[in-house]
Structures are given as structure tokens and as C-alpha cells.
Structure 1
Amino acid sequence: MRRALDALYALSAGLAAASLFGIFAVMMIQIALRQFEVQFSGSDDLSAYLCVGTTFLGLAATFKRGELIRVGMFLEKLPTGARRWAELFALALGIAVMGYITWWTAQDVLFSHEIEEVAQGTVPFPLWIPKLVMPVGGGLLLIAVIDEFISVLMGHEPEYVRAAAERAARGDFSAEV
């Protein structure tokens, strides 16, 4: 199960990277076409959709690596037992919030598909397609938070705490800035 979850997080990070590369490709194509005075219709919308994909698809892997913004100053001051309960509370809150976000973004995708909503830009993209990355990425983050909750419940240190400690031990404080 651990390998399957880690593969899922790696896949989501790969898809986020592909979305980021897609933004680059759209921008380069747009620049090249300008030289020939040709418009790339829908490029702004496509870049925006890929930006959302990059953000949402990268959430789970970023969380597991301990690179999401997290305020640990309070938790670090607590004794070990209290820290574990505070961590469980924070993860439970994260599960509730991500469950809510995933549910409602999925409902928005279904509604957009049902009413055949299209983009208002130059190219009428069906909006349910780019909106789909929000519940998928949110759902992946929800799985990652549940994964950490179960891990902490079983008495293990959260993976994101271990990852941050390993970076600090190497002298890499880039995620802390």
C-alpha cells in the first residue's frame, strides 16, 4: 500500500510538472507565432487552466515532502504527547477542509458538465475539463492528509516533519524561507 500511495503522489507531481511545462510550451508557441503575426487563440485561457492544474496536482506531493506552508512554531514547543494530539487535531481539520473542498469542486465539475458550460474567451473550452483538476488534486491531497493522519495515529512521526528535518540536516533551508 505504501508503494502505491507514494507512486500516486509521484504521479501527481509528474502531472503538475507536465502542466508547468505546458504553460511554458503555450508561451513559447505564442511568442513564435507573434513573429509571423499569427494569433494563438485561447492561449491565455489555456495557460490559466494549466496554472490551476500545476497548483492542484502538485498539492499532495508538496504536502508529503513538507514543503507546503505550515506553522510548526507552536507544535515544536509542545511536549511529545501533546504535540502528537495537536498534530492529529490539525490533520483532522485538514481532512475536514479538504473533504469539503473536494466535494464542492466535484459538484461544480458535474454542474458545469450538466449545463455544458463553456469558457467566455476566444475558444469555447468546455469548462468541466479544466475544472476537473481541482477535485482530482484536492482528492489527492485529501488522501495524503488521511495517510499522514493514520501514520500519526499509529505513533509515527509525520513524513512532512521528517522531510523538513532531513532538509535542515543537509543545511537546506529553502523551504523554510
Structure 2
Amino acid sequence: MRRFLDFLYDACAWLAALAMIGVLLMVLLSIVSRQIGFHVPGTDAYAGYSMAAAGFLALAHTLKRNEHIRVTLLLGRLQGKARRGLELWALTVGVLLSGLFAVYSVRLAWNSRAFNDISTGNDATPLWIPQLTMALGTVILLVAFLDEWVQELRGQRSTAGSEEALHNE
């Protein structure tokens, strides 16, 4: 199971990287087409969709690599049961919030598909298509938070030390 979850987080990171390349390609296409004298409709919208996909798909991988911004002012001063209790509380809140985020993201994509919601731009893209990346990213973030929560309960979770946290900043 561990290998599958790590593969899932890494696969999402690769998809996020591909989405960043999509942003680059859309911006370059827009610039080059403007210089040559023709217009490709929808490049701004597709760059935005790709940017959102990159952000949402990278959430779980970033969490699992301890790269999310954390306020460790209080946590760094605690030890033992108090620290573990605060970690469990924070992870529980993370599970609940990411669960809500996942439910509403999936619901948004589902409703957009059901109502045939399309973008207001020239491209008239069905909005459920770019919203799928948001839904996928938030569902996998929920899985990552649950993974962290279970690891913390089992005492197997590795957290960043204060030196490592300073290094990331």
C-alpha cells in the first residue's frame, strides 16, 4: 500500500509538472501568435486551467514532502504527548477541511457536467473538464492527509525538524 500511495503522489506531481509546461506553451503560443499577426482564441483560458491544474495536483505531493507552510512557533516548543496531541489535532482539522474541499470540488465538476456549463470565453470549454483536475487534486490531498493522520496514530510519521523547516524557508 505504501508503494502505491507514494506512486500516486508522485504521479500527481508529474501531472502538475506537465500542467506547468501547458501554461508555458499557452503563454508562448499567445506571444508568438500576436507577433506573427494571428490570434489563437482561448490561450488565456487554457493557461489559467493549466495553472489551476498544476496547483491542485501538486497539493498532496507537497504535503507528503513536508513542504507546506507550517507555523511551528508553538509546535517547536512542545514535546512528548503535548506535541503529538497538537499534531493529531492539526491533522484531524486537515482531514476534515480537505474532505470538505474534496466533496465540494467533486460536486462542482459533477454539477457542471450535469448542467452542461461552459466557459464564457470564445473557446466555450465545458467547465467540468478543467474542474476534474481540481477534484482529483483535492481527493488525493484528502488521501494524503488521511495517510499522514494514520501514520501519526501509529507513531510512524516523520516530521520536519526545526533545522529542516528553516532550510525550506
Shorter-chain TM range is over 0.9
Q: What is the Cα deviation at residue 79 of structure 1? A: 1.8
Q: What is the Cα deviation at residue 27 of structure 1? A: 1.1
Could you say which residue in structure 1 is the equivalent of 2:131?
Answer: 131
The code of the aligned residue for 1:54 comes to A
The code of the aligned residue for 2:88 comes to L
| Conservation of the 8 A alpha-carbon contact between 2:29 and 2:43 | no
Could you say which residue in structure 2 is the equivalent of 1:11?
Answer: 11
The code of the aligned residue for 1:168 comes to E
The code of the aligned residue for 1:133 comes to T
Could you say which residue in structure 2 is the equivalent of 1:156?
Answer: 156
Counterpart check, 1:54 vs 2:54: yes
TM-score by length of 2: 0.94
The whole-number CA distance in structure 2 between the counterparts of 1:127 and 1:88 is: 37
Could you say which residue in structure 1 is the equivalent of 2:89?
Answer: 89
The code of the aligned residue for 2:47 comes to S
Give 4+ residue runs of structure 1 displaced > 4 Å after superposition: none
C-alpha change, 1:132 and 1:167, in structure 2 (3 Å) is farther
Counterpart check, 1:100 vs 2:106: no
Q: Structure 1: which 5+ runs fail to align?
A: none
| Fraction of identical pairs, as percent | 36
The whole-number CA distance in structure 2 between the counterparts of 1:167 and 1:124 is: 49
Number of aligned residues = 169
Q: Structure 2: which 5+ runs fail to align?
A: none
Q: What is the Cα deviation at residue 166 of structure 1? A: 9.7
TM-score by length of 1: 0.90
The whole-number CA distance in structure 1 between the counterparts of 2:162 and 2:4 is: 23
The whole-number CA distance in structure 1 between the counterparts of 2:30 and 2:161 is: 42
1:114-157 residue CA offsets vs partner (Å, 9 max, x unmatched): 11000001110000000111121011111111001000100123
Q: What is the Cα deviation at residue 82 of structure 1? A: 1.1
Could you say which residue in structure 2 is the equivalent of 1:65?
Answer: 65
Larger CA deviation: 63-72 vs 118-127: 63-72
Could you say which residue in structure 1 is the equivalent of 2:44?
Answer: 44
Could you say which residue in structure 2 is the equivalent of 1:116?
Answer: 116
Q: What is the Cα deviation at residue 168 of structure 1? A: 2.8
The code of the aligned residue for 1:90 comes to A
Could you say which residue in structure 1 is the equivalent of 2:164?
Answer: 168
1:32-78 residue CA offsets vs partner (Å, 9 max, x unmatched): 21222111100010011111101000000001111111112211111
C-alpha change, 1:72 and 1:166, in structure 2 (3 Å) is closer
